[in-house]
């Protein structure tokens, strides 16, 4: 008799279900280890799949990683749009935006939340996706306050997202205590107002 272990029988799933399992396995892998340390073979194993099957849905590791980021960004944007109220003041609309952000970050698995808010070394494709997303959010707040009129406004808005990233990461490392969440939001609002000088609208 052969002493070889029996081959695993792969469960037949719909393409949508298989893709979702691959995505979830990738999210766990990239949250637990640096990008460079994660392989497609590892993700395939965790997803009870094959390297070829992973590549059927995502041609490269960079594409898969970037999909995880942009999917999270898209969900956050959906929540922001649903909660936004154009009748409110600029400050209140930014506060709503921050509530959506901190709500979502508090719901994500902690390791993935840390990667989402403050990147580790990652592929150029993901870096560009982050830059595009920040530019999108800068444009949103610029619209709230009546536009960017000078370099101070531009520096204030870009610097705001750096402040938010750093302080949110510290909050995550502290275990994201619920009683600190609104203090974080207040600090971010204060930082933006101080940088801008006033809210204008």
Task: Compute the average pLDDT of residues 148-165.
Answer: 95
CATH class (in words) of the domain with range 14-59: mainly alpha
| Alpha helix (H) residue ranges in 33-60 | 40-46, 51-57
Q: What distance in Å separates the CA atoms of residue 65 and residue 135, rounded to the nearest whole number?
A: 20
Question: 66-89 pLDDT, tens per residue?
Answer: 999 999 999 999 999 999 999 999
Asked if pLDDT for residue 8 goes beyond 70, the answer is no
Mean pLDDT, the chain, integer: 92
Q: What distance in Å separates the CA atoms of residue 84 and residue 100, rounded to the nearest whole number?
A: 10
Q: How many residues does the chain have?
A: 201
Q: What distance in Å separates the CA atoms of residue 115 and residue 165, rounded to the nearest whole number?
A: 10
Indicate the pTM of the whole model: 0.87
Which two tokens mark 150? 């000078």
Predicted pLDDT at 85: 97
The count of other CB atoms within 10 Å of the CB of residue 113 is 21
Indicate the SS3 state at residue 89: coil
Question: 27-65 pLDDT, tens per residue?
Answer: 999 989 999 999 999 999 999 989 999 999 999 999 999
Question: 79-119 pLDDT, tens per residue?
Answer: 999 999 999 999 999 999 999 999 999 999 999 999 999 98
Which two tokens mark 7? 């081959």
Torsion of CA 105, 106, 112, 118, to 10 degrees: 50
Burial of 151 (0-12, 13-18, 19+ CB in 10 A): exposed
CA distances from 19 to 30, 38, 40, 56, 159 (A): 16, 18, 14, 9, 37
């Amino acid at each position: 008799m052969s002493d070889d272990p029996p081959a695993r029988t792969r469960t037949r799933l719909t393409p949508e279900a298989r893709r979702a399992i691959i995505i979830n396995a990738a999210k766990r892998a990239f949250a637990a280890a640096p990008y460079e340390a994660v392989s497609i073979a590892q993700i395939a194993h965790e997803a009870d799949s094959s390297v070829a099957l992973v590549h059927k849905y995502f041609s490269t590791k960079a594409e898969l990683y970037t999909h995880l980021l942009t999917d999270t960004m898209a969900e956050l944007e959906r929540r922001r749009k649903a909660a936004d109220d154009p009748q409110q003041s600029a400050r209140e609309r930014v506060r709503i935006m921050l509530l959506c952000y901190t709500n979502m970050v508090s719901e994500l698995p902690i390791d993935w939340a840390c990667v989402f808010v403050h990147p580790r070394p990652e592929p150029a494709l993901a870096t560009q996706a982050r830059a595009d997303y920040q530019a999108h959010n800068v444009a949103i707040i610029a619209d709230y306050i009546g536009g960017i009129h000078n370099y101070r406004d531009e520096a204030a808005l870009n610097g705001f997202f750096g402040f938010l990233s750093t302080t949110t990461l510290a909050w995550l490392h502290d275990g994201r205590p619920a009683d600190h969440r609104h203090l974080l939001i207040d600090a971010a609002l204060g930082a933006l107002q101080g940088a801008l000088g006033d809210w204008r609208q």
